[in-house]
Amino acid sequence: MNKLYTCIACAAIATLLCFLPAISQEDVMTIGGPDAFYGFTDPQRPVVMFTHTQHMDLEMIDGSCLPCHHDGRDEEGNFTEGDMVPCKDCHDEAAKGEMSLLNAYHKQCIDCHEQAEAGPITCGECHVKTEFYGMPLGNDENQGESQE
Amino acid sequence: MHDIYNFVVGPLAWFGWGVFILGAIYKLVYAYNKFITKDATSAHYMSWKFGLRSIGAWLIPFFTTGWKNNPLVTAVTFVFHICLILVPIFLSAHAILWQQFFGIEFFWTLPDNVADIMTLLVIAACVFFAVRRLAYPRVKFITEAKDWWVLLLVVSPFITGYLAYHQIFNYQFMIVLHVITGLAWLALIPFSRLSHMLFALFTRAYIGSEFGGVRKVKDW
Amino acid sequence: MKESKFDRKIDDIGLKEGIAKLTPEKIQQTFQKFMDSEAGAKLRVYHETCVRCGMCSEACHFFVSHDGDPSYSPVGKVTQTMNVLINKKGRVDAEFVYKCAQIAYTECNLCRRCMHYCPLGIDTGYIMSMVRRFCHLLGVTPQYIQDTAHSHSATFNQMWVKDDEWPDALLWQEEEARDEFPNLRIPLDVVGADIMYSVIGPEPKFRTQLIYQAAAILHEAGVNWTMPSLPGWDNSDMAMYTGDFEMMGRLKRAHFECAQNLKVKKVVMGECGHAFRSVYDMGNRWCGWDNYPVEVVHSIEFFAYLLRTGMIKMKTKFPGPVTIHDPCNIIRGRGLMDELRFVAHEIAEEVIEMTPNREYNYCCCAGGGVINCGPPFKNVRVKGNKAKAIQLRGVKEKGVSTVISPCHNCHGGLEDIIHGYELGMDLKFLGDIIYEHMEKTKAVE
Ligand code: HEM
Ligand code: HEM
Ligand code: SF4
Ligand code: SF4
Ligand code: SF4
């Protein structure tokens, strides 16, 4: 009996863990790193912190899922709405060219930030380094997020 | 800060590149015209065969008399120039900017940690050149103020680039400074000692032609 | 730009009186005109392109001989002269012009050894000859060499040899030689001869023996040759070294007109370096010729030809080891190092080489007109070529006491070095040895 409960509990926790990012998006997402959920298991640059809700609450997004979650373009060249999947499902990490994951992130983030005149646009504002050969640099890991 | 950044990577970058490219064209065209009019009796001896032969010989480290007799400078200068040219072109950060602004995709970029070491090598080489200028009488004697400015100019994008990459000191300030020094670096190539980048091939080709064609001996 | 001090000024009346006539305006205007009308891309690009790395320093025998005094390095000399002129756009005082002249005329042999060292191919010899040109335009030239240039303008030869003295000297040598070779002639003005033999002015003046020897060799070889009796016979060219390029051009024209009037196939010239340079490198360019209008064959090549074809056979070889001093104007200037070695090995029992040699040789320090600047600057040459003395001492220790060098200037320079450093060595022209040791079938027993 105990065994069954344990199994159910595990399954529940597992399910919860799986859906957690989707349902509780205020969690800070870490792009890059060993868990590989958003690509780049072994990144050259420091991982990037991304807060989902903070972006969804923005006026220019206004609760919509576009322009991030897109799936092709309509006649006018605007994005059409796509599935709620991580970017790397369509944008291949190993690919070259415009569709590569690297470009997808850079283009999506930086273009939007430029348009909004808010948010990070230079390398180090997203890829924040906290130490220099073991010496702490005093940079806040999440400083990119707080940038206006 | 982003306004300043956007200005330096926007209008200022156009300006810097413009000065570099137009300046280089102007310098080369001016020199070419002078060469074929005033130095026609030298231009006459230009030869592809001997010119390329000379350039080739001098591209091989420790091959020529000059290189052999200055082994330390040779080692340092080859490392310095190779890194100096490869890093700005194939740095991933730079490649991403090309992609971002012009949609130009690089077939290959330097891994960041390698580029990082190459940057340090460039800085170390500049320190070597500086020490040489201070300590070695034969170089000290011929050093003018502008040689120091050039050295400072050359090293500054590497120092600021390194500091920016590692986010030491204020990152946003550093990246702006980096772009400004990088652009100054480019823009001043045609108008300083760095113009040897534009002329080196031609001065070599000429002297190679003269030695090969007229003097019938090697120029190395 | 720092002004380095110049504490080795040497009194020369030509330079002194030359600068006495200068005003700052004149200097500046002359420089401006020089830059606008004469200097082209080479001078400007060299000025801009030199990265001041100092790699050329060690190339120069002056630098080496002065234990690395940077003011004697190739780029050091440019820094003290042309560099300042260009940077200041000619706004310099007369004293500075003196310094420029002294450096350019007496501390650089235009030997171009530094070309093997400069990674950017900056031709320091060319820059120094442009400094000389500028000094010439200002009339600031060392007295002795200017005297030879005056002689060139007045007589078309270097040594004030009068029109009648020249054929006299030839007839005299012919007479002398006929004691040894009864049928020998020095054929004058033979139209249609195969070869015109030409010499430098000092030969009839000081070294008539060389004309005798040449006549003997040409006679023995049975060559159809001639010598001109009229001005134009002298192939030497000090105007080239003072920077008097106009005169250089006239000299070359006169010389080649001589050859063309005689309708010869070739000009064979005596063992001289600078005269050769003036026909393949400088004079021809000034005249706008790709090359000489009549082929000029240097003695080295000619002797090699005579020995190869057996027209001259060696009865004996020069005994004992000899060494070779490569004259830059012929070797680094014209690539005759292998021919020279061929001849040397044909005529001498053993050749012991100095290093560096061939196109990497150290100049004798007399060339480029430096020896022609005369006694005031003799010490400059001797002190400035300790490097050569060390080289010579090196082969002397291996048992060499004879130096072969097919260039008059080299002989002059090496002689002073050999005396100055008490080396006790002999100098020989190729012609000396060939004449001495060849089979003389046409001579009286
Ligand atoms: C239009 C001008 C330039 C722009 C916009 C630019 C931009 C950048 C950016 C964004 C970075 C990345 C900094 C980071 O990782 O946070 C960088 C790094 C760097 N850049 Fe530039 N750059 C320019 C010109 C140059 C030039 C001319 C040079 C060298 C001659 C240069 C050498 C470097 C170096 C050495 C690094 C650091 C590499 C490292 O330590 O890993 N840059 N640059
Ligand atoms: C692309 C063709 C280039 C060639 C063939 C070339 C060649 C040379 C050579 C032969 C030297 C002298 C050796 C030495 O002292 O290190 C030199 C020195 C130098 N080069 Fe370049 N170079 C080139 C491009 C550049 C560029 C693009 C830069 C920087 C913008 C540069 C900066 C320097 C500096 C600063 C020195 C002098 C180092 C000192 O102070 O002694 N070079 N170069
Ligand atoms: S003497 Fe020869 S090596 Fe020295 S600077 Fe003049 S040309 Fe160069
Ligand atoms: S002449 Fe050539 S070798 Fe000499 S300092 Fe200038 S660049 Fe260097
Ligand atoms: S005198 Fe002799 S060694 Fe000296 S420059 Fe002339 S040819 Fe060269």
List the CATH number of the domain containing C424.
Answer: 3.40.50
C3-32 average pLDDT score: 92
- When pLDDT is cut at 50, 70 and 90, the band that residue C266 belongs to is very high
- When pLDDT is cut at 50, 70 and 90, the band that residue C438 belongs to is very high
Shared domain for C116 and C223, answered yes or no, is no
> Does B92 contact C at CB distance below 8 Å?
no
In chain A, which residue's Cα lies nearest the Cα of B98?
Answer: A103
Chain B residues lying within 8 Å of C58, measured CB to CB: 69-70
In chain A, which residue's Cα lies nearest the Cα of B3?
Answer: A117
The DSSP secondary structure of B107-128, one letter per residue, reads S--B-HHHHHHHHHHHHHHHHH
Residue A24: the pLDDT is 47
> Does B72 contact C at CB distance below 8 Å?
no
Residues C157 and C236 sit within 8 Å (Cβ to Cβ): yes
Superfamily covering domain B2-214: Transmembrane di-heme cytochromes, Chain C (1.20.950.20)
Domain boundary among C110, C141, C172: C141
| Radius of gyration (C-alpha) of chain C in whole angstroms | 22
C1 domain-assigned: no
- Are the beta carbons of A124 and B113 separated by less than 8 Å? no
What residues contact residue A136 under an 8 Å CB cut-off, 6+ apart? A130
Compute the mean pLDDT over every residue in chain C, rounded to the nearest whole number. 95
Shared domain for C159 and C301, answered yes or no, is yes
C442 domain-assigned: no
Select the residue of C40, C75, C360 nearest B38 (Cβ to Cβ). Answer: C40
List the CATH number of the domain containing C108.
Answer: 1.10.1060
> Does C45 contact B at CB distance below 8 Å?
yes
Chains C and B touch (3+ CB pairs under 8 A): yes
Shared domain for C136 and C188, answered yes or no, is no
pTM: 0.91
Q: Is pLDDT above 60 for C252?
A: yes
Residues C260 and C230 sit within 8 Å (Cβ to Cβ): no
The nearest CA of chain B is from the CA of C83 a distance in Å of: 10
Q: List the beta bridge partners of residue C199.
A: C234
Cα–Cα distances in angstroms (integers) from residue C348 to residues B121, C299, C432, in the given order: 55, 17, 12
Shared domain for C212 and C298, answered yes or no, is yes
Q: Is pLDDT above 90 for B90?
A: yes
CA C410-C412-C416 angle, to 5 degrees, is 110
- Per-residue pLDDT of C85-105, as tens digits, reads 999 999 999 999 999 999 999
Shared domain for C363 and C296, answered yes or no, is no
Domain count, chain C: 3
Shared domain for C275 and C382, answered yes or no, is no
Residue A10: the pLDDT is 60
Residue C1: the pLDDT is 41
β-strand A70-73 against A79-81: which pairing, if any? antiparallel
The residue whose C-alpha atom lies closest to atom 2 belonging to ligand 3 is C111
- When pLDDT is cut at 50, 70 and 90, the band that residue C136 belongs to is very high
Shared domain for C137 and C151, answered yes or no, is no
Cα–Cα distances in angstroms (integers) from residue A77 to residues A65, A70, A88, B142, C70, in the given order: 17, 12, 22, 62, 69
Helices (H), C50-201: 61-65, 74-80, 82-87, 94-106, 124-138, 143-155, 165-180
Residue A8: the pLDDT is 65
| Radius of gyration (C-alpha) of chain A in whole angstroms | 18
- Per-residue pLDDT of C337-355, as tens digits, reads 999 999 999 999 999 999 8
Q: Is pLDDT above 90 for B22?
A: yes
Residue A21: the pLDDT is 47
Residues C65 and C385 sit within 8 Å (Cβ to Cβ): yes
Shared domain for C241 and C294, answered yes or no, is yes
* Distance, CA of C155 to CA of C158 (rounded, Å): 8
> Does A30 contact B at CB distance below 8 Å?
no
- Are the beta carbons of B103 and A114 separated by less than 8 Å? no
- Per-residue pLDDT of B6-15, as tens digits, reads 999 999 999 9
Output the CA C343–ligand 3 centroid distance in Å: 28
Q: Which residues of B touch A (CB under 8 A)?
A: 2, 5-6, 92-93, 96, 99-100, 103, 105, 107, 111-113, 164-168, 171-172, 175
Chain B residues lying within 8 Å of C1, measured CB to CB: 144-145
What CATH number does the domain located at A26-146 have? 3.90.10.10
Residue A4: the pLDDT is 62
- ipTM of this predicted complex? 0.94
Which ligand 2 atom minimizes the distance to the CA of C52?
41
Least confident of A89-98, C101-110, C117-126, C134-143: A89-98
- Per-residue pLDDT of C373-428, as tens digits, reads 999 999 999 999 999 999 999 999 999 999 999 999 999 999 999 999 999 999 99
Domain that holds residue C111: 13-141
Chain B residues lying within 8 Å of C116, measured CB to CB: 64-66, 218-220
- Per-residue pLDDT of B23-51, as tens digits, reads 999 999 999 999 999 999 999 999 999 99
B144-168 average pLDDT score: 95
C216 domain-assigned: yes
Cα C247 → chain centroid: 17
Of A51, A46, B198, the closest CA to residue C120 belongs to: B198
Amino acid letter, C214: A
Residue B105: the pLDDT is 85
**Subunits with at least 3 CB pairs below 8 A relative to chain A?**
B
| Torsion, CA C107, CA C113, CA C117, CA C118, rounded to 10 | 70
Domain boundary among C124, C141, C158: C141
C444 domain-assigned: no
Residues of chain A with pLDDT under 50: 1, 20-26, 146-148
Shared domain for C75 and C163, answered yes or no, is no
For ligand 3, residues with CB inside 6 Å are: C 59-60, 62, 74, 77, 108-114, 124-125, 128, 363
B86-92 average pLDDT score: 95
Ligand 5 close to Cβ of residue C247 (< 6 A): no
Output the CA C76–ligand 4 centroid distance in Å: 9
Q: Is pLDDT above 60 for C122?
A: yes
Shared domain for C33 and C120, answered yes or no, is yes
What residues contact residue B137 under an 8 Å CB cut-off, 6+ apart? C68, C70
- When pLDDT is cut at 50, 70 and 90, the band that residue C323 belongs to is very high
* Distance, CA of B51 to CA of C181 (rounded, Å): 51
Q: Is pLDDT above 70 for C213?
A: yes
Count of Cβ atoms closer than 10 Å to residue C144 Cβ? 20
The residue whose C-alpha atom lies closest to atom 2 belonging to ligand 4 is C118
Output B192 or A56, whichever has higher pLDDT.
Answer: B192
Output C139 or A71, whichever has higher pLDDT.
Answer: C139
- Per-residue pLDDT of B61-86, as tens digits, reads 999 999 999 999 999 999 999 999 99
Output C5 or C149, whichever has higher pLDDT.
Answer: C149
Output A85 or C123, whichever has higher pLDDT.
Answer: C123
Ligand 5 close to Cβ of residue C327 (< 6 A): yes
Q: Is pLDDT above 60 for C75?
A: yes
Shared domain for C120 and C219, answered yes or no, is no
Of C428, C205, C195, C172, the closest CA to residue C322 belongs to: C428
